[in-house]
Amino acid sequence: MFTKWRFDRRLNSLAASGHEVLTDYAGSDWPDRNSAASGAAYLALDFELDGLRRDADLLQAGWVPFAGDCIAMASARSVDIRSDASLDPAAVTIHGIGEQRAARGQKLAEVAGSLIAALSGCIIVAHAAEIEVSALQRVGKAIWGIKLPVRSICTLALERKLHPHLVGAEAYRLGPCRARYGLPDYEVHDALTDAIAAAELFQAQLSRLPEDVILGDLEQR
């Protein structure tokens, strides 16, 4: 559960970690939970993983910052992440990242440093955001030995609140959710494309909410 005191305590731990990327993250200007959601800084994020296991390798990361109705495409990033593992053939069929491509990716620590810098002061937005949050915290443990404090909004959970009586899990997948708002159909299972799709969906969802809705009403707990 998100609580401000726990988030602040973890930020204080990062500030004393001695790692520049973490101290910069801790010292960022974080938005107040009582501030208007429409004015906050967000980072739409998506990972492609080797399956849904808790220890699945991260194979690709895509992220893009946005605020209000503006998506900062010039700052969008798509990065393959190095893996020497024997990949799950079923997962490769879905995301298209085979073992040769994975072996040429960037080192996880390099990707993590860039991602944390981009995330500083921002709220993560993702569809089924618990996947991204869990993966990011696992990365923090592996590289720096810390559980990274993050704040996030899940577009899937928000869609269930906005349209609570739809039948079947398929109705809440990213594509059908976007279609309800007249958003175009994108190819799925590319990290950056999925991140952009989540950002656009969240902007559309926000347009259906009261103008004074605050972050605390939307953030995952």
What domains appear along the chain, each with residue ranges and CATH number? 4-215 (3.30.420.10)
Token pair of 182 as six digits: 């007249």
What does the pLDDT read at residue 121? Answer: 97
Closest of 177, 172, 174, 162 to residue 208, by C-alpha = 162
What does the pLDDT read at residue 52? Answer: 72
Q: Sorting pLDDT into bands at 50, 70 and 90, what band is 206?
A: very high
Angle between the N-to-C axes of helices 129-144 and 108-119, in degrees from 0 to 180, rounded to the nearest 10: 120
User: In the predicted model, is pLDDT for residue 3 greater than 80?
Assistant: no
Q: Sorting pLDDT into bands at 50, 70 and 90, what band is 219?
A: very high
pLDDT tens by residue, 33-78: 999 999 999 999 999 988 777 778 889 999 999 998 999 999 999 9
In the chain, pLDDT over 70 holds for what percent of residues?
Answer: 96
User: In the predicted model, is pLDDT for residue 138 greater than 60?
Assistant: yes
Closest of 110, 54, 55 to residue 82, by C-alpha = 110
Reading phi first (left if > 0) and then psi (alpha if -120 to 50, else beta), residue 92 is in alpha
Tell me how far apart the alpha carbons of residues 200 and 213 are, in angstroms, rounded to a whole number.
Answer: 18
pTM: 0.93
Average pLDDT of every residue of the chain: 91
What does the pLDDT read at residue 84? Answer: 79
Alpha helix locations (H) across the chain? 4-15, 20-26, 89-95, 99-103, 108-119, 129-144, 155-162, 174-180, 191-207, 215-218
CA end-to-end distance (rounded Å), the chain: 4
- Which of 91-100, 174-183, 206-215 is predicted least confidently? 91-100
pLDDT tens by residue, 100-120: 887 889 999 999 999 999 999
How many other C-beta atoms are found inside a 10 Å radius of the C-beta of residue 150? 23
What does the pLDDT read at residue 2? Answer: 55
